[in-house]
Amino acid sequence: MDGNGRWATQRGLPRTEGHKAGADAVMRVLEYCQKYDVRYLTLYAFSTENWKRSVTEVTALMNLLFDFLEKKGQELIKNRIRLRVIGEIERLPWPARRKLQSFIQATEQFTDYNLTLALSYGGRSEIVGAATKLAEQVKAGTLEPSAITEEVFASALQTADIPDPDLIMRTAGEQRLSNFLLWQCSYAEFLFIDTLWPDFAEQDFVGALNAFSQRQRRYGKA
């Protein structure tokens, strides 16, 4: 979800205002998902690399996460949207972590629509974590090395209970994965658009669905 900072700069505003506008865009997209029956949405909200930003900006982002849940969390429950989180959650400040856990528990019975927030997330770190988990099982004698298939490995990832993404979209003209869902993206379609995330509107969402519908997904077949 790129472009928050540029959106703010273009308007002579501090970057934090761009992040606030980006949070509003999240709620709009959740509405579009329900309107067009997109059942799974994963948002790359904060990467492991984002910890390298200034203390001021990181603090503002963590406060924004807390405020977002405080103000919008009940809408997830009202709209029966299940909340999941992937990433190194233990690195988040306790208030934000506690708020996340409360809404994860409050929405865990919902099945129709699913929002996954990638927070302090990195694809390489997730793969290393899965490999470590399986290695520990092998060491304990509960798993044979020969039994490790792609399916078994996928089951050790944090995304084990959600489907691999069909479409990965990046805004603001950026054209790279930036360590996002590296294992899961093997057969995803990619779409890069110039729209800044705070400006992301229904026409962008529908345009993405239309572009996806025109792709031929052969999975290696002729």
Q: What is the distance between the alpha carbons of residues 14 and 26, in angstroms, rounded to a whole number?
A: 20
Sign of CA dihedral 39, 193, 84, 135: positive
- What do you get for the CA distance between the two ends of the chain, in Å? 34
DSSP symbol at 164: P
Order the strands of the 40-47 sheet from edge to edge: 40-47, 113-121, 81-86
Q: Which helix (H) or strand (E) holds 76?
A: helix 55-78
How distant, in Å, are the alpha carbons of 4, 8, 28, 43, 200 from that of 25?
Answer: 10, 14, 5, 11, 6
Q: For residues 156, 157, 159 and 162, what is the CA-based torsion angle, rounded to 10 degrees?
A: -40
The residues carrying an active-site annotation are 2, 50
